[in-house]
Amino acid sequence: MTEFSDENDLISLPLYKKKKFCIVGARVHPGETPASWMMQGFLKCLTGNSLQAEQLRKRVVFKIVPMSNPDGVISGNYRTSMAGCDLNRRYDDPDFRFHPTVFSIKNMAESILNGDSLKGFSAFATPDDIIFVDMHGHSRKKNVFIYGPPVPLHSEKYYKVRVIPKLLADETEMFRYHSCRFLNEKSKQNTARIVLNKELGIYNCFTFEASFHCYYDHDRVNHEFTPAMYEAMGANLVNSLYEYMMVIEEDERCKQAKIVEKQKR
């Protein structure tokens, strides 16, 4: 696992600039190679010199797991680990012996919420401060899209959980917002996005899917994916996360301004 963050004293930051956390993983299903290309593009952009990357590193601690199922990849499996386990169906009760990466990822998310994950500083993290992205490849659907947790229509988080997908759709036509789903299917109840949402309350908890085949543009013309396109999609995710942080900060500014105005009255 790799961690990326600029060296900023957490305590010295204003309230709306307290560090957020983003856990990004890939290849939990070893045969889904588009995930590795997207991860490579994500890392190149995140560690680059662009304004978005520099500002994002100041605001977010990134916990990166580039390959969540290395033994499955080494043994040439398509979906399982060397022990024959689909690791993305083990998040409800991972065993350290048979599902060590899943056990560690879940434990890491819990540690962030316990406030002991930022180099000696208490992070005071809440579930709202964490974003979880698990990169996959999809063998049937076209385009890039997201599967997210179900949120009731009456909840304010119903819209919040859709902000990042909408920003991605605005960033590139490779991402199709209308292919996104926010459901809790019976067959997916033990996946990362459902378990981390149910047990830890993380609502920005996504399966980030990229087609093995192609995407279609606004004119319904198909474009076959290439490794360079997958890498560009990873960079688009960085830019969208930056835009999301700007939205969050503006929201916090508005809340603080209302509090100050109320106190003056």
Per-residue pLDDT of the chain (265 residues; tens, 9 = 90+): 555 555 443 333 444 457 899 999 999 999 999 999 999 999 999 999 999 999 999 999 999 999 999 999 999 999 999 999 999 999 999 999 999 999 999 999 999 998 765 554 445 689 999 999 999 999 999 999 999 999 999 998 999 999 999 999 999 999 999 999 999 888 899 999 999 999 999 999 999 999 999 999 999 999 999 999 999 999 999 999 999 999 999 988 898 888 888 888 7
CA distances from 151 to 92, 94, 189, 208 (A): 19, 25, 14, 18
> What is the residue range of 186's domain?
2-264
Cβ atoms 50, 232 nearer than 8 A: no
**Which SS3 state, helix, strand or coil, does residue 167 take?**
helix
Q: Helices then strands (H, E): number in the chain?
A: 8, 9
Known catalytic residues are 209
Domain count, the chain: 1
Quick one: which of 93, 95, 70 has its CA closest to 82? 70
CATH number reported for the structural domain that contains residue 22 in this entry: 3.40.630.10
